[in-house]
Amino acid sequence: MDLNYSAEERAFRDEVRAWLQANLPRDLKEKVERFAELSKEDVRRWHAILAKQGWIAPHWPQEWGGTGWNAVQRYLFEEECGYAGAPQLPGLALVFCAPVLIRYGTEAQKKRFLPKIYSGGEFWCQGYSEPGSGSDLVSLKTKAVKDGSSYVVTGQKIWTTQAEWADWMFALVRTSSEGKPHEGISVLLIDMKSPGISVRPLRLMDGGYEVNEVFLDGVCVPAENLVHEENRGWAVAKFLLGYERMNNARVGVAKRTLAGLKRLAAEPRDGGPSLLEDMRFRDRLARVEVELMALEITNLRFLDRLRKTGVPPGAEVSILKLKGSEVHQALSELVMQATGGPVEHAEPAARYLNFRKLSIYGGTNEIQRNILAKQALGL
């Protein structure tokens, strides 16, 4: 696909592509391509390589280490990384928490946390979802009671990604029960080494443990770790969720998966015909490829509008999350069918099972359809 890229933008894309070919460690690329589990050390290694190049936080302001790239360059960089097979860095700190601190944090919070996030010295997790408060975040019950110069936090978070790695959590807590539910929510930065915090891994369908339950039992949090204003945390949460939904399509990753699937399906099977000679498989593959092309075109339309007007997309951006999750799930199913199960350099069963979550997290696909119907179409 093309966006009528300028000569400078095409040169930038070529520069990123060449740099990735020269600097992406082969062992990390192979792990990503076969959907093997990445260790904390693997992630830190790739983080350090990008940070040394100065490409770790393209969307940050330059004063804090941003690249100064425009929207098109940031898009090209993300898609080239996905297509090259680069490890996906934990976005909880770089993509979500850092922009919140840059927008709403105090100067002391920025100076304390942003350099550590940039260098990869500290990992973060997101304390949003709770039992009974997943898509309906405003119903959260974790309480934070002011006690002198601290808040005492008691409650439970669930589906907390990489809490087992995290040094810090940015969490939604309830500081008031008066007024409308969203009016009593605040955001706290919580040290995961604090007494009273316990992390319990949750085993996923693929056998992995990337999400957790987090229990907070009278955890003492300094009041200086409050972000923005007390009871005004819902504005912060909505700001962050906008970032989350802009990063769910991952077209580059899907294109890499599709290319690998085509190569795999073209190979003869046990001396017989290849899957590409199977009419039903070929039909399903063609349908997914068309859906991916439409997704990429939609993504580029949003990007082109942003480039021309400077105005980010509104509720209609939900279509990227909705269709992106469906395309990735369909591809994972076809890969599993093409391999017949786990084989060398591929773990299709794990990929298929893990990708069932794509239509749930970041706002379920049902929620995305409601957003599109009400806010984009006015139904």
Catalytic machinery residues: 244
Cβ count within 10 A of residue 63: 9
Cα separations (Å) of 306 from 62, 72, 147, 238, 314?
20, 9, 45, 20, 11
Q: How far is 368 from 50, CA to CA, in rounded Å?
A: 33
Pairwise CA distance, residues 202 & 199, whole Å:
10
Please state, in angstroms and rounded to a whole number, the distance separating the CA atoms of residues 340 and 325: 22
**Is 126:177 a contact under the CB 8 Å cutoff?**
no
With contact defined as beta carbons under 8 Å apart, do 152 and 129 qualify? no
Which of these, 134, 124, 132, 284, lies nearest to 188 by C-alpha position?
124
Residue 351 vs residues 90, 126, 324: alpha-carbon distances, Å: 18, 23, 15
Locus of tokens 């949750």: 202
How far apart are the C-alpha atoms of 19 and 12, rounded to whole Å? 11
Q: Give which of 319, 347, 354 is closest to 161, Cα–Cα.
A: 354
Nearest-5° Cα angle at 128, 59 to 166: 70
Alpha-carbon separation of residue 308 from 2, 79, 247, 302 (angstroms): 16, 20, 20, 10
